Structure 1
Amino acid sequence: MQFEQFDSSLFFQEVQKISEEVNSEDGAGNLSFASFYKKVEKSLPDETYQAVKFIVHLHLTNEITLYKEEGKGAFIQLKAETFADSQIIEFFYFLPTLNLILREMRLIQSFPAMVLEFFNSSFTNEYFSEELDAYDLLDEQDRFILIYAVGYFITYNKKRIELNRYSKFFSRATYLSFCQQITNESSLLIKEGLIELKSERYSDEIGFMLTNKTILMIFPNWDLEVEPKKDRVSFEKHQEGFTLYQPEDLKDVSLYFNERNQKFKDRIDLIIKCTDKEKLSSAALAMMISGYPGTGKTAFAKKLCNDLDLLLMFVEMSDIQAKYIGETEQNIHRLFNQYRNLWKKSDKPVVLLFNECDQLFGRKVQVEKSSDLFSNAVQSQLLNEMENLNGILIATCNSTDNLEEAFKRRFLFHMEFEKPDFETRKKIWCGLDGAWTSNSKMLNTISQYELTGAQIDNVLKKMSLLSTIDDTIQDQLLFDLIEEEDNILVGNKIGF
């Protein structure tokens, strides 16, 4: 940067005069920046921004030294010291002071522009600058974010920086957009492996951390290991946040539904059978399955995957809900990224199953306490991820009465699984191995009890544990267990 249009000789005459005054007062040549600026203002360019640029230029050319003193503000040392390291390192050390000076001059919004201007014009031969130039897809905002984070690391020896430190440099809309790019890991800085999202366990503040790849751009002689970006998804069964089932891992069981629910299953089967994976990749087949517990909502998803040779990504909501603010949103984003990666890598379609998600998909609440704000932020993140989802999503819940309207819109199919009717219960009992299969009277009797498929399964599990050799006692035991499951505690028992 050149300043030939300024009369620097006049400026240095003023500086020399001030330096002599300060030294005579045993001030060691140090003066607060505000006082210094007032003294030399008449020899600086008329515009404040240009005047500050000129003074910063003199610092970078080692004519004067600007520095920050904790608790006292910005100072100027009128007798410059030689740089102890490269000029770019000196510049990084200087960034907090420049930030302070611009704040004193009420030019804080100019900070990103000034940083980039000095950086681009002054450090073309520095190693870090050359390495950074290789990332030509980074825009000016990304470059400033990284440069400031590097300066923070060099000054304070901290690799992690909170996002809120950038709030004063951008407009609110730009800052919120930047935060979203970091938290959902869509930022090019993250994709290029220069930073990584890093939550602080005992802090509410979201932040990111410089990677070793970036640190080696500044200090190439440091002995640091650069790990390749980890692929967070594999075909292992148990993974962070979900369980992955191959079709053969799922039991091939017979399921019986009421006529309406069976038509729904047949329709979904037909859609998936007749649609290739590429076409499914461009659309979202999202289903909300609600209904009374034990009516086969989860079993429906597993049966679908077993019958149609699909992978099942099984998510229990408790696995992704975290204790600390901000972590649940990160878990949701990470989970959907894993799903997208798995879909790309697999030769089979993948079903993403959110099991028992009543609380997560419920209506947003009026914010009265911090936990309400946290809950609404989680839902907003989930809505955003669902909006951009391509593939097959199934969510199960007990009731849709409290379902947020925005979630309803994002589900293409809605189906309530009803309790099995009499004929369906007969099919369920007939599909099981027992004495009732050859005794029509007994079959009709036990089918009158309005049990769900899961309750019938519970009865059989109890029978296997309590069964006796005596068939008569066994029949009576069956009815006792059915009544127990059906909560019939009074009245005459049905039996033979």
Structure 2
Amino acid sequence: MPKNVGLTMNVIEAVAAVAEKLAGSKLKIKTSKEFSHAVAHLNDYFGTDERQTWLLCAMLALHFENRRKPCRLNTIADFFDCSMLTMLACRGDIESIIVKHYMYTVNALHDDKIGLDSSFQFSEEFLQCLLQNEKPVITAPAPAETDVLDMVNKIRHEVCRRHSLGIKVRIMNAEEKRYADDPFVIETKQLLPGEKNLQARMMFYTCCSHYITGDEVGLAELLDATVYPASTKFALARECMDERFILFKEDLVAFDQKGTLTDATIEITQKAKELLLGENIDLFTKPAQGTGIIQPDAITAKDLFYEQKNEAEIARLTSSLQEEHFCEIQNRLSEKGLPKGVAVLLYGAPGTGKTETVYQLAKATGRMILHVDISQVKSCWFGESEKKIKKIFTDYHQLCRACKKEQDGKMPILLFNEADAIFSKRKDTNSSNVAQTENSMQNIILEEMEKLEGILIATTNLADNLDTAFERRFLFKIKFENPSVEAKRKIWKSKLKFLGENELTAFAENYNLSGGQIDNIVRKAMMDEVLTGMHPNIETLHELCKHEKIGHDYEQRIGFSC
């Protein structure tokens, strides 16, 4: 391309000057001589009118500030500090820029049509002209992001049917060149750079195609299709089985099933899925369901009674998780550069209402619960437990993303019940492989808690066994004591409304029972009523209380006057 010798000022300087003036302007600018001169120069350089030049400068500023990521209409609106309606009124100007092939739409049905969800990416050819101060003459549009799915499918097809590695590599190189401006290709080549990672990229693209089509990827078959010469297959297979291969180290693939080489299957990770699909990932994500998901509407509302101190702490936590407060809290924390997530530890004696408190919090704040089954996390396969822990947080992130798309957009609660099984003090790694595995699991949880953006609640009866690294990461730490006499009176009254004041006092004062144990007594009394057809009497209730706690002889120290 010929140099534009008529340029009187550097294009980048002109773009920077115009963008600086436009930022936060609401598109209402008091022009100066310097600003008008820069705009006129850029009008000539881009072949655009004034409004189109303004938009181009704003989008270029966002492009470089956001590390070359695509920008959306709402991002541009934020730059100008104007409404989305104002930006929608500029669609014609943006479409005129796209027609010049300076940029292209991402996630759009047609390259030159702007929708509410459209994102925009600049052509690499245009950016090179800009950086070299050359007049842009773009001859062809860049491909849209959705076309990259065709790319990975074509590479997989050619890899499977061709016998020559050289031909496979040439085809892949041609496809990468064709889609060189695509963010997926750009980032993949950054993660797997150079000639030394040609086969790794080939394997990765093939795995991506399998994911899109819903097919299983057998490790042995993948190696057969992509690895030459044959003498290197076993060495690479060992790297993969040990998860030392670059695709595993960069967290792009993981084992779906890990046994032997002949039956091992792999899949792309959440990181790879987001890289490949961007905002379209929800189209390939199954909605959250199953026994681990508890909807707030499925929770029965209950009255819970706490000690005075606990009552104040629970009230503050409940208020903090109300959506209007939670969003404001997260915004304030983000502005201060502090972690946005809220992690809560409920600890204390068994049966004091820790788990039920989580349910009632979810009910009161309208939040879904993802309940972690601790017993299903630990696996006899070395490395499998770590995968399961990672998957818990991956599932939670997906659930958060899905909830954001709902009308109320409320962040769900991730519940680790009886968490001491995996939140316990870390062990000496020299003691056993089991200790190493448990420490690795804890390191994953600690890392995830650091970057948590949602709500994590853990309950435990054994707080003394909790590792100090976990203790620091809990924002709320609430201790549940056995209920006081007054609290027990309230519990008995709420469960058995026919009890008189003297009877309530007697049961509360004479039996050191938790809320859960009182529940047990009430349930057994109801069972007796069904079996005998008779209303439970006071003597029966006393007998049930005496036998509720193992090893406690109330008969020796208590006299009753009922």
Alignment TM-score > 0.5, same fold: yes
- Whole-angstrom CA distance in 2 between matches of 1:86 and 1:306: 52
The one-letter code of the counterpart of 1:355 is N
- Whole-angstrom CA distance in 2 between matches of 1:255 and 1:340: 31
Matches within 5 A, 1:14-163: 89-91=163-165, 126-133=170-177, 134=179, 135-139=185-189, 142=192, 144-145=196-197, 147-148=199-200, 150=203, 152-154=223-225, 155=227, 162=237
**1:262–1:327 distance in 2 versus 1, CA, 3 Å:** same
Encode CA deviations 1:440-459: one digit per residue, 9 max, x unaligned: 11110111211111100000
**1:166–1:420 distance in 2 versus 1, CA, 3 Å:** closer
1:181 aligns with 2:250: yes
- Whole-angstrom CA distance in 1 between matches of 2:175 and 2:328: 39
The Cα shift of 1:399 comes to: 1.9
**1:265–1:231 distance in 2 versus 1, CA, 3 Å:** farther
**1:307–1:87 distance in 2 versus 1, CA, 3 Å:** closer
- Whole-angstrom CA distance in 1 between matches of 2:174 and 2:319: 56
The Cα shift of 1:138 comes to: 1.6
- Whole-angstrom CA distance in 2 between matches of 1:257 and 1:208: 49
Which structure has more relative contact order (CA 8 Å, sep 6+)? It is 1
- Root mean square deviation of aligned Cα: 3.8
Q: Which residue of 2 is the match for residue 478 of structure 1? A: 541
Q: Which residue of 1 is the match for residue 310 of structure 2? A: 261
- Whole-angstrom CA distance in 2 between matches of 1:265 and 1:329: 33
- Whole-angstrom CA distance in 2 between matches of 1:206 and 1:381: 24
1:381 aligns with 2:476: no
The one-letter code of the counterpart of 1:253 is K
Q: Which residue of 1 is the match for residue 506 of structure 2? A: 445
**1:209–1:335 distance in 2 versus 1, CA, 3 Å:** closer
Q: Which residue of 1 is the match for residue 528 of structure 2? A: 466
- Whole-angstrom CA distance in 1 between matches of 2:360 and 2:378: 27
**1:210–1:466 distance in 2 versus 1, CA, 3 Å:** closer
Q: 2:258 aligned to 184, 192, 200, which one?
A: 200
Q: 1:402 aligned to 465, 468, 482, which one?
A: 465
The Cα shift of 1:417 comes to: 0.7
- Whole-angstrom CA distance in 2 between matches of 1:279 and 1:159: 53
- Whole-angstrom CA distance in 2 between matches of 1:490 and 1:425: 17
Q: Which residue of 2 is the match for residue 411 of structure 1? A: 474
Structure 2: gaps spanning 5 or more residues: 1-158, 180-184, 204-221, 270-280, 335-339, 404-408
**1:244–1:165 distance in 2 versus 1, CA, 3 Å:** closer
1:343 aligns with 2:400: yes
Q: Which residue of 2 is the match for residue 352 of structure 1? A: 414
The one-letter code of the counterpart of 2:239 is N
- Whole-angstrom CA distance in 2 between matches of 1:266 and 1:348: 19
TM-score under structure 1 length normalisation: 0.61
The one-letter code of the counterpart of 2:512 is E
Matches within 5 A, 1:428-443: 428-436=491-499, 439-443=500-504
**1:403–1:180 distance in 2 versus 1, CA, 3 Å:** farther
Structure 1: gaps spanning 5 or more residues: 1-84, 93-121, 169-174, 188-194, 212-227
The structure where helix makes up a greater share of residues is 2
- The aligned length equals 342
1:275 aligns with 2:325: yes
The Cα shift of 1:177 comes to: 8.5
Structure (1 or 2) with the larger CA radius of gyration: 1
**1:147–1:180 distance in 2 versus 1, CA, 3 Å:** closer
SS in 1 for 2:317: helix
SS in 2 for 1:286: strand
Q: Which residue of 2 is the match for residue 33 of structure 1? A: none
Encode CA deviations 1:188-231: one digit per residue, 9 max, x unaligned: xxxxxxx554341369x9984689xxxxxxxxxxxxxxxx9984
The one-letter code of the counterpart of 1:153 is D
Identity of aligned residues (%): 24
SS in 1 for 2:369: strand
**1:145–1:208 distance in 2 versus 1, CA, 3 Å:** farther
Encode CA deviations 1:397-438: one digit per residue, 9 max, x unaligned: 1122121121111111111111111010111111123431xx
Q: 1:320 aligned to 377, 396, 399, which one?
A: 377
Q: Which residue of 1 is the match for residue 74 of structure 2? A: none
Q: Is the 8 A contact 2:223 2:237 kept in 1?
A: no
Q: Is the 8 A contact 1:232 1:338 kept in 2?
A: no
SS in 2 for 1:138: helix
- Whole-angstrom CA distance in 2 between matches of 1:199 and 1:378: 19
- Whole-angstrom CA distance in 1 between matches of 2:533 and 2:396: 51
TM-score under structure 2 length normalisation: 0.54
Encode CA deviations 1:290-313: one digit per residue, 9 max, x unaligned: 111110111111000111111111
**1:159–1:235 distance in 2 versus 1, CA, 3 Å:** farther
SS in 1 for 2:192: helix
**1:334–1:375 distance in 2 versus 1, CA, 3 Å:** same
- Higher mean C-alpha deviation, range 253-262 or range 426-435: 426-435
Q: Which residue of 1 is the match for residue 54 of structure 2? A: none
The one-letter code of the counterpart of 2:526 is S
The Cα shift of 1:461 comes to: 0.8
Q: Which residue of 1 is the match for residue 103 of structure 2? A: none
